């Protein structure tokens, strides 16, 4: 026997898996979003009613949820970049090379805590009798403890905590690939440290920022746990709205339509960032 011919069929099992358990479910969901529940049975009627419900039902609750989601996600992405960039920069240029790997692993260690547990931990920190309040009241900076959980602030804080670690990783990976000689050349040509950073290092590191920011956007806008645990139910984000339809109402058609809207937003973000990536390279 000469061989298995793996080169000609090796990709088939993976493609079959992706087709059966990813593409097919998406098509099923698309069809579900144009179906109706008639007398407890779901029937494909090619209706756009579910999308109409997204726009008008419950006095714009769903459109509001979309707006909230986009606002929280954009804010999260910007803040995470602002926190992570200096951190990645310090790791790449200030920490001695032989310690870098160790410091990097330590810096993103909490990345490996369970996602549910991480949000829960922030709840402990932020609650009315939590660590921060006890510290602030104890130091006399605050007269009365302030509950900081169940708010948009808490959601964004929880998100930034997680995604700053992710972005530190992508930006660091990009920074260490930039050759030192570029900065030295800039310095030789008379640029001061800030000019060298602004005109050389920063533009060259933008691909790492773009990759991390895109991942942050996709993962944050689709996340249900963080807003549910930290944000509470005072204001609804889109994934929470989807889960509400699934849970209490078992309204699969509406949940599917809402998910399609969510996917559309991510696609738009992808197209925007793909263009930005190309511009960054030129």
Partner 1 sequence: MSARLGAWASWAYLGVALLFIFLPVLVLVQFSFQEGLAPVPPFDGPSLKWWAKVMANRKITDGLWNSLLVGLGSAAMATILGFLAAYALARRKHRLSGLYQFLLMAPITVSYLIIGMGLQITFNHLGLGKSLWAIGIGHVVINLPLTFAILYSQLGEHQANIERAAYDLGASDARVILEITVPMLWPALLAAFFIAATLSWDEFVIAFLMSRFDVTLPVVIWSMLRSGLSPELNAAGTLVFAISILAVALVELLLWRARRNAN
Minimum distance from CB of 178 to partner 1 (Å)?
18
Determine how many CB atoms are found less than 10 A away from the CB of residue 41. 8
Q: Does 275 bind partner 1 (CB under 8 A)?
A: no
Question: How many chain residues bind partner 1 (CB under 8 A)?
Answer: 82
Q: Does 24 bind partner 1 (CB under 8 A)?
A: yes
Exposed / middle / buried, residue 33 (Cβ in 10 Å: 0-12, 13-18, 19+): buried
Of the candidates 205, 110, 102, 232, which has an alpha carbon nearest to the alpha carbon of residue 160? 110
Write out the H or E segment, with its range, that includes residue 38. Answer: strand 35-38
Q: Does 51 bind partner 1 (CB under 8 A)?
A: no
Binding mask 153-172 for partner 1 (x = CB under 8 A): --------x--xx-------
DSSP state of 42: E
Q: Does 25 bind partner 1 (CB under 8 A)?
A: yes
Q: Does 131 bind partner 1 (CB under 8 A)?
A: yes
Tell me which of 44, 55, 82, 124 binds partner 1, using CB under 8 A. 124
Q: Which two tokens stand for residue 68?
A: 């909230």
User: How many whole angstroms separate alpha carbon 101 and alpha carbon 109?
Assistant: 12
Minimum distance from CB of 146 to partner 1 (Å)?
14
User: How many whole angstroms separate alpha carbon 72 and alpha carbon 49?
Assistant: 28
By beta-carbon proximity to partner 1, the closer residue of 9 and 46 is: 9
Q: Does 181 bind partner 1 (CB under 8 A)?
A: no
Q: Does 10 bind partner 1 (CB under 8 A)?
A: yes
User: How many whole angstroms separate alpha carbon 225 and alpha carbon 125?
Assistant: 17
Q: Does 270 bind partner 1 (CB under 8 A)?
A: yes
Tell me which of 34, 77, 223, 227 binds partner 1, using CB under 8 A. 223
């Amino acid at each position: 026997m000469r061989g298995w011919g793996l080169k000609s069929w090796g990709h088939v099992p993976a493609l079959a898996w992706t087709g059966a358990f990813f593409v097919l479910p998406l098509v099923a969901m698309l069809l579900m979003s144009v179906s109706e529940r008639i007398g407890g049975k779901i029937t494909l009627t090619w209706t756009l009613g579910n999308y109409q419900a997204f726009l008008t039902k419950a006095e714009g609750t769903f459109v509001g949820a979309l707006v909230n989601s986009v606002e929280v996600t954009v804010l999260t992405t910007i803040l995470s970049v602002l926190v992570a960039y200096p951190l990645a920069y310090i790791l790449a240029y200030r920490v001695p090379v032989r310690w870098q790997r160790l410091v990097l692993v330590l810096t993103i260690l909490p990345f490996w805590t369970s996602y549910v547990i991480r949000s829960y931990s922030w709840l402990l920190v932020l609650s009315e009798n939590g660590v921060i309040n006890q510290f602030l009241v104890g130091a006399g900076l605050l007269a009365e403890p302030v509950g900081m959980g169940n708010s948009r602030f808490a959601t964004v804080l929880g998100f930034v905590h997680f995604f700053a670690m992710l972005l530190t990783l992508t930006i660091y990976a990009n920074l260490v690939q930039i050759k030192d000689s570029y900065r030295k050349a800039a310095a030789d040509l008379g640029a001061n440290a800030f000019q060298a950073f602004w005109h050389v290092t920063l533009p060259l590191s933008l691909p790492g920022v773009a990759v991390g920011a895109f991942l942050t956007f996709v993962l944050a806008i689709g996340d249900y746990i963080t807003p549910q645990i930290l944000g509470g139910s005072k204001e609804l984000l889109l994934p929470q709205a989807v889960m509400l339809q699934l849970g209490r109402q078992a309204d699969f058609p509406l949940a599917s339509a809402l998910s399609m809207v969510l996917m559309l937003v991510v696609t738009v973000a992808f197209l925007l960032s793909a263009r930005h990536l190309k511009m960054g390279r030129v």
